[in-house]
Structure 1
Amino acid sequence: MNNTYKTVRAWRIKEGTREEVADPVTVESPLTLYFNDSEIVTLLCTMEYPDELAVGFLCSEGFLKSRDDIKSVAVDSEAAAVRVTSRKSAMIAEQTFLKRYITTGCGKGTSFYHLSDAVLRPIDTEFRIGSGQLLDLMTEAQRMSELFKTTGGVHSSAVCSEGKILYFREDVGRHNSVDKLIGRCFLEGIDMGDKVLLTTGRISSEILIKAAKMGVPVLASRSAPTELAVRHAQELGVTIAGFVRNKRMNIYTYPERITII
């Protein structure tokens, strides 16, 4: 049985008529993350790649700094939990995370809000990508979004090299789809300095800082950025491209990285 969506009864009104239909909707499930036996957070997510989501979330929140920090990652499907065991204590990260969670715990994510929390260096790279290549990558990512085609109820994100999608992930939460990619790239030890991060969701300051923490020079979306994301991107050396669709895009920061090709 597919655990990413279920069929529910709905009533469709079209052209003045009403009919009962079976409609597929995305399954949203709780996943609890444990770090060294401490319960950290319960995320509402699409239950695919839970190990990547757990590792990516812990990277984003400062619990993990390198692959050597991880001793094991265990997925408990019955308990809907992921247990990450680390060689290092994370007392400071836990305290910082809990403080942030209390102040932003309204279901909108728990990532760094202040740049001083993230302790990031501006990205300095000679990486360039053609505008045509970026549009083609976004089109290809849309083709890959099978769960969205079925339900219309998920966001998708992708890590790309100059002309190829390396990893693609979907989730009910745009933060989760990005964290899954962070987790995969972290586990694989992939250098992100010459990669592009695509997303279908709004580019918020939280998504921007996740990308900056990965070292991604170009962040692109079919949707819009927020003013705070643009401001942080300018400070952190990240190129933001929004509304990447229909043979057009808006570039908000560091436009020299996207060439006219």
Structure 2
Amino acid sequence: MAQATSQSAESDHRLKSERRVIHYEKGAFETRTDVVVSEYALTVFVNGQEMATVVCTPEYMEDLVVGFLASEGVIRSIDQLVDVQISDFRGTARVQTTSGVNFNQAFYNKRYIASCCGKGRQSFYFYNDAHTAKQVDDPVKISPKQIFELMDAMQTDATLWHETGGVHMASLCTPEKVVLSRTDIGRHNALDKLYGHTLMQRESMTGKLIAFSGRLSSEVVLKCAKIGIGVVLAKSAPTALALEIADELGITAVGFVREGSFQVYSHPWRVLQ
């Protein structure tokens, strides 16, 4: 039990740190201790070839790597994955895939994937997006009451967000409950962590949906399509491009879920009236 506590404390230390700050409020300054989230650079190699450097929150990194490779089209099933070796010291993930996988750098355009929203990958601007995003036909249905309950449950689980305010949170749900939650400084990373976990556990995505803490960007909707999710719930606004993708790929996009209201932007037949 002592060992488990020590490991938990070490993991907790990697995710966040404390910093003395000068806080100003209502005309007065005071010294406080603030909690800030950590950033970690993980360079992914596939069959000895460098693919990308992902800036992430340093937990569930195997989930992240597997989900990232699947969403980028490097692997199409978990059976194509032979081995994943992650070195915390070197900041590397070395992946071996089956001989049937042909990783072509020209298609995947080595790039630095930042944690922020500034120069994100845009819809179908990359070869792999056009070949991995798929039409979603899942007939899952959800009621307004369930929408609010799932968003409340997701936010209740968001411990690191409450402490730092510096991460995104994504939860995989059924209409009745939250099944799995992941946080990360990058919204795409949080979704990849969910994707990787479900692939390694060979979980079916039928009847599942995703609740998300941020806005609905094109990247978030594309990730949901790649995972095979038919409904995505978000606390904030969608972008126009995100809704174009949702229309095209059959995804029900629900935004502004807060304070007893929400807006359904696409494929409203999944929301019970």
Classify the TM-score, shorter chain: over 0.9
- Where in structure 1 are there 5+ consecutive unaligned residues? none
Task: Tell me which of 9, 23, 26 is aligned to 2:34.
Answer: 23
- 2:102 matched residue in structure 1: 90
Task: Tell me which of 196, 201, 214 is aligned to 1:183.
Answer: 196
User: Separation in 1 of the partners of 2:152 and 2:61?
Assistant: 26
- 2:130 matched residue in structure 1: 118
1:156-213 per-residue CA deviation (whole Å, 9 max, x = no partner) reads 0010012111110001111111111111111111111210111112211111111111
- 1:148 matched residue in structure 2: 161
Moved over 2 A (4+): 88-92, 106-122
1:128 aligns to 2:151 (yes or no): no
Task: Tell me which of 74, 79, 92 is aligned to 2:85.
Answer: 74
Report matched runs for 1:161-200 at 5 Å.
Answer: 161-200=174-213
Task: Tell me which of 37, 40, 46 is aligned to 2:48.
Answer: 37
Percent identical among aligned pairs is: 35
State the Cα distance separating 1:115 from its structure 2 match: 8.8
Helix, strand or coil for the counterpart of 2:210? strand
CA RMSD of aligned residues (A): 2.2
Please give the TM-score of this superposition, normalised by the length of structure 2. Answer: 0.88
User: Separation in 2 of the partners of 1:215 and 1:115?
Assistant: 19
Instruction: Say whether the 8 Å CA contact 1:113–1:206 is kept in structure 2.
Output: no
Helix, strand or coil for the counterpart of 2:108? helix
1:57-101 per-residue CA deviation (whole Å, 9 max, x = no partner) reads 111111010011001112211112222210033333x321107x4
State the Cα distance separating 1:109 from its structure 2 match: 3.5
- 1:251 matched residue in structure 2: 264
- 1:207 matched residue in structure 2: 220
1:13 aligns to 2:24 (yes or no): yes
Q: Given the superposition, is the C-alpha separation of residues 188 and 176 from structure 1 closer, same or farther in structure 2, using an over 3 Å criterion?
A: same
- Where in structure 2 are there 5+ consecutive unaligned residues? 1-9
1:105-138 per-residue CA deviation (whole Å, 9 max, x = no partner) reads x963346534974234422232111111111011
User: Separation in 2 of the partners of 1:229 and 1:78?
Assistant: 37
- 2:5 matched residue in structure 1: none
Helix, strand or coil for the counterpart of 1:65? coil
User: Separation in 2 of the partners of 1:111 and 1:167?
Assistant: 27
Aligned residue pair count: 258
User: Separation in 1 of the partners of 2:246 and 2:126?
Assistant: 11
User: Separation in 2 of the partners of 1:110 and 1:76?
Assistant: 27
Please give the TM-score of this superposition, normalised by the length of structure 1. Answer: 0.92
Q: Given the superposition, is the C-alpha separation of residues 148 and 121 from structure 1 closer, same or farther in structure 2, using an over 3 Å criterion?
A: closer
Deviates more, 1:117-126 or 1:185-194: 117-126
Q: Given the superposition, is the C-alpha separation of residues 6 and 202 from structure 1 closer, same or farther in structure 2, using an over 3 Å criterion?
A: same
